[in-house]
Amino acid sequence: MTPKGLLPGVRVLDVGQGISGPYCAKILAQMGAEVIKVEPQAGDSARRMGPFPSDLPHTEKSGLFLALNANKYGVTLDLSSPEGAESFRKLAATADIVIENPPPISLEELGLGYESLQQINPGLILTSITPFGRRGPYKDFKATDLILYHMSGHAHGLLGAVKDPDKDPPIRAGGHQAEFVGGLAAATATMMALYGKQMNGQGSQINVSLFEAMVTQLISGLANSAWGRPAPPRDLAMVEEAAIGGMVGAIGGILPCNDGHVAISPREDAQWERWLVVMGNPTWSTDDRYSTRDARQKNSPSLWKLLSDWSINYSKHEIARLGQEQRVPCFPVNTVLDLMGDEHLAHREFFVEMDHPEAGTLKYPGAAYKLSNSDLPLTARPAPLLGQHNQEILEGLNR
Amino acid sequence: MNQLPLQGIRVLDLSWIIAGPTATRFLASMGAEVIKVGSARRPDPSTRGPAFQAYNQSKLYASLNLSKPEGLELVKRLLAISDVVIENFAAGVIERLGLGYDVVRAARPDIIMVASSGTGHFGPHTDYVAYGSLLQHYTGWNSISGHPNREPVTGGLWADPWVGMELAMVTVASLNNRALAGEGQYVDFSMAEALSACLPEAVLDYQMNDRVKEPMGNRDDWYAPHGVYHCFGSDRWVAIAVTNVSEWAALCGLIGRSDLTSNSKYATAEGRRQFQGELGTAITEWTVQHEDIEAMRLLQQAGVPAGPSQDILRVFQEPQLSEAGYFNRVKTRDGEERDLPGLPWRFEGTQAPILTEAPVLGEHNDYIYGELLGLSQGEVAHMVEEQIIY
């Protein structure tokens, strides 16, 4: 039997495409809401993004689409046609929540915006995710993950300081952090609106800005600015002079291993003492240049050379295990291959397996939380085929 | 006008540093009464400075020494009148303090207890010591971020605030369930899993193609050109992402290189990816003549997704944020007017979110111990003297 999750009886329409909207709706689905994905005849744009088996594009085999849309039902509607719009209105009349992330599909432009839908369903929650929100000079600007990552200040911090900033530009993280963080912000706001609706019946119109979602990750930096502090420099020479934090010097860093890298952070004196035990208390450790945190910060180039000469003889998992045995914060730099073989994640059943009629049996990342009194429907059904539930859901509307 | 959705909810906040306080900041600003509990005996490491201001806006702050038995009794009385309790100590610490879920539930049967730690509260690596800056390595993110053939990046992915938002989400999901089903919940939350959950492309690519995804700097699997291009001035860059053929034509037209549009080797994204180096040279010839903001405006007017690569101070000064109503101007206790950060969402037609200055330790002791728990002034004074309210 499918577990009920936390939101039994809550109905969601997912008009989103790509990542942020569908990720928001995926969160609601894995929490137990009934999520109906509404796609145009050509399908969600994520169906045309990879990865695909053997890199061959196929409407039903996009790994990104399969992961973002598991546990949802799927119907196709041409919302620009009168019949399609009418079916959508009927569906919206039965829903608690509608999620959209224009462009390309904007309910407002289709005459299906909040005011129109609220007339048929006063308690409806409409969550709209856009690159910059609905106000401000950039409200009509386009953005992708790359643009959002750079504009929001994240790229300046990711690479750390570099020797020549004019030749070594800021970079984004891999994957699609801005889209996922924006989708999560939308899910958080939607959950809040749903609680408000349960308490006093009120509907909500919510506008989420992907840009502001990324900016909100950096509120400590914004507060530093509000208190007149300068931005951390990207020029390595300036960082060493100012000894600003981050993963440099005595705070921690990356060590090379014989099979990759390990990240360590023995920042407190007691942690450093225990780290020296891991390394077998090398003779240089009593040297004045490394005996205090300040000294280690000041002499970090020569210190990291000594650490690296030692670490290269071991594997990343070996060092992580030895370090953690001494309660030193350290972790291997894992690849997805490492994650999928990780005994801890396996024990916690983090990855979940589903069989899809076209794409076959695959493992998907699950949820980051386990609940004492509820099981989550993480494997209720694989992502829908295009139009899979048209008959079941749309024909019922006309009866 | 709607009221804020979390009005009437009370949250006991035993969390500290970044992830937990981020979660309760979201809850407080949307109407919940958040009571942060801390002690001068073991202050929140982020207590001083602007970071604390950001993570603790809109909360009440009680001082309480949990190492004293009487302090523990006071916490239980606060639990009895709370809907939610949040903690983010290392796994096992809250139980050693005498505040495991069994104790918490005894004080308030339908309470929602949210417990966050680096790797979660069961499993072989439960006791691993973690910092957010290390989790980005453990969770796979730093195997796909950075430059190919260079050592992994050392900067921040900002794992803690990301996770903090997810903690707020799962807390309110549990409140919804309490409203529907009438029962509380213990939530075991793994910060590491929250990050690994957002790498589905790499996870599926590995299974489908036996391929271990590698870092690619600013480049992309699908779109091209895709990168940052040097603008006029030192360390100034504009990010450009061409996602379809009409944006490609618009870019070529803008930079005066319509000849590229008609060259068949650039006709597909695959072709443009292959020749991205030479296209970068052509694009940079145009971008270096423009300030980054001006380059963004011209590109966006032409219909090409673009924006400057900014440091945090420029983000703070961003007109998009001020004009969209993101900041809240607050007179802080030093007498200065400052723009404090806001929320990434707007609830239209709803009361404005509560975004006040962060409290100082013990600022709300009178309200919390006097008004909420009904202690007399004499009782409070005694507990202050005994370093229980401390």
When CB atoms are compared, the residue of B155, B172, B204 closest to A246 is: B155
pLDDT at B123: 97
Does residue B82 belong to the interface with chain A, where contact is any CB pair within 8 Å? no
* pLDDT score, position B146: 92
Answer whether A175 sits within 8 Å of B198, measured CB to CB: yes
**pLDDT attached to residue B44:** 86
Exposed/middle/buried for residue A127 (C-beta within 10 Å: 0-12, 13-18, 19+): buried
Q: How many CB atoms lie within 10 A of CB B1?
A: 7
Query: Where exactly are the structural domains of chain A?
Result: 11-216+352-397, 245-340
State residue B249's pLDDT score.
97
pLDDT higher than 80, residue B48:
no
Mean pLDDT of chain A: 94
Contact A198 B180 (CB under 8 A): yes
| Burial of A385 from C-beta contacts in 10 A (0-12 / 13-18 / 19+) | middle
Q: How far apart are CA B38 and CA B40, in angstroms?
A: 7
Position A243 scores a pLDDT of 39
Q: What chain B residue is nearest to A337 in terms of C-alpha separation?
A: B212
Task: Name the CATH superfamily, with its identifier, for domain A11-216+352-397.
Answer: Crotonobetainyl-coa:carnitine coa-transferase; domain 1 (3.40.50.10540)
| Domains defined along chain B, listed by start | 10-197+326-385 (3.40.50.10540), 226-315 (3.30.1540.10)
Spell out where chain A has E strands: 11-14, 34-39, 73-76, 97-100, 125-130, 204-209, 253-257, 260-264, 330-332, 351-356, 360-365, 369-371
Which residue among A159, A181, A222 sits closest to B312, beta carbon to beta carbon?
A222
For residues B246 and B253, what is the distance between their CA atoms, to the nearest angstrom? 11
Those residues with Cβ within 8 angstroms of residue A309's Cβ, 6 or more apart along the chain or in another chain: none
- On the question of pLDDT at A241 being above 80, the answer is no
Residue B226 near residue A146, CB atoms below 8 Å? yes
Residue B254 has pLDDT above 60, yes or no: yes
CATH class of A245-340: alpha beta
A221: nearest Cα among A139, A311, A153, A123: A153
ipTM surpassing 0.90, yes or no?
yes
**What's the gap between Cα A71 and its chain centre?**
18
pLDDT range class, residue A399, cuts 50, 70, 90: low
Which residues lie below 8 Å from residue B56, measured CB to CB, with a gap of 6+? B21, B25, B36, B358, B359
CA–CA dist A48, A61 (Å, integer): 9
- For residue A317, what are the contacts with CB-CB under 8 A and spacing of at least 6? A332, A338
The pLDDT-based confidence of A268 (bands split at 50, 70, 90) is confident
Mean pLDDT value of segment A28-45: 98
Q: Decide: B141 and B78 in contact? Cβ < 8 Å.
A: no
Q: By the CB < 8 Å criterion, does B93 face chain A?
A: no
Burial of A108 (0-12, 13-18, 19+ CB in 10 A): middle
Structural contact between residues A37 and A202, judged by C-beta atoms closer than 8 angstroms: no
Is the confidence at residue A246, as pLDDT, over 80? no
Average pLDDT for B41-63: 89
C-alpha B190/C-alpha B381 separation (Å) is 40
The pLDDT-based confidence of A189 (bands split at 50, 70, 90) is: very high
> If we measure between CA atoms, which residue out of B188, B193, B190 comes closest to residue B118?
B190
Strands B306-308 and B237-241: antiparallel
Q: How many CB atoms lie within 10 A of CB A272?
A: 18
| Cβ contact, residue pair B3, A226, below 8 Å | no
| φ/ψ (deg, to 5) at B204 | -75, -35
Tell me the C-alpha distance between B301 and B201, whole Å: 32
* Contact across the interface for A150 and B191, Cβ inside 8 Å: no
The beta-carbon neighbor of A362 closest among B156, B204, B220 is B204
Residue A355's DSSP bridge partners are A361
Across A176-190, average pLDDT: 98
CA distance B268 to B1: 51
How high is the pLDDT of residue B349? Answer: 95
The pair of structure tokens assigned to A114 is 């909040």
pLDDT score recorded for residue A396: 80
pLDDT score, position B43: 85
Q: Chain A interface, mutation test: which of B102, B223, B235, most A Cβ atoms within 10 Å? A: B235
From the number of C-beta atoms within 10 Å of its C-beta (0-12, 13-18, 19+), residue A236 rates as middle
Q: Which of A253-267, B203-217, B272-286 has the lowest mean pLDDT?
A: A253-267
Q: Which of B177, B185, B221 sits opposite A7 (nearest CB)?
A: B177
Q: Which of B126, B304, B345, B348 to mutate to test the interface with A (most CBs of A within 10 A)?
A: B345
B388 near B65, Cβ under 8 Å? Answer: yes
Quick one: average pLDDT of B100-116? 98
Quick one: which of B183, B160, B43, B39 has its CA closest to B108? B183
- Fold match between domain A11-216+352-397 and domain A245-340: no
Q: What is the pLDDT of residue A296?
A: 87
Question: What sign for the dihedral angle of Cα B66, B71, B76, B77?
Answer: negative
pLDDT in tens, B160-219: 999 999 999 999 999 999 999 999 999 999 999 999 999 999 999 999 999 999 999 999
Size of interface A-B (CB pairs under 8 A): 508
CA distance A353 to chain B (A): 12
Q: What are A2's two structure tokens?
A: 């499918």
Mutate to test the interface with A, among B315, B318, B340, B357 (most CBs of A within 10 A): B315
pLDDT more than 90, % of chain A: 84
Tens-digit pLDDT profile for residues A343-389:
999 999 999 999 999 999 999 999 999 999 999 999 999 999 999 99
CA distance B256 to B254: 5
Rounded CA-CA distance A160/B137 in Å is 15
Binary contact (B198, A365; C-beta < 8 A): yes
Judge if pTM exceeds 0.95: yes
Whether residue B157 is predicted with pLDDT greater than 80 in this model: the reply is: no
pLDDT at A117: 98
Question: Could you tell me the two tokens for A268?
Answer: 């407190």
Instruction: State the smallest CA–CA distance between residue B44 and chain A in angstroms.
Output: 15
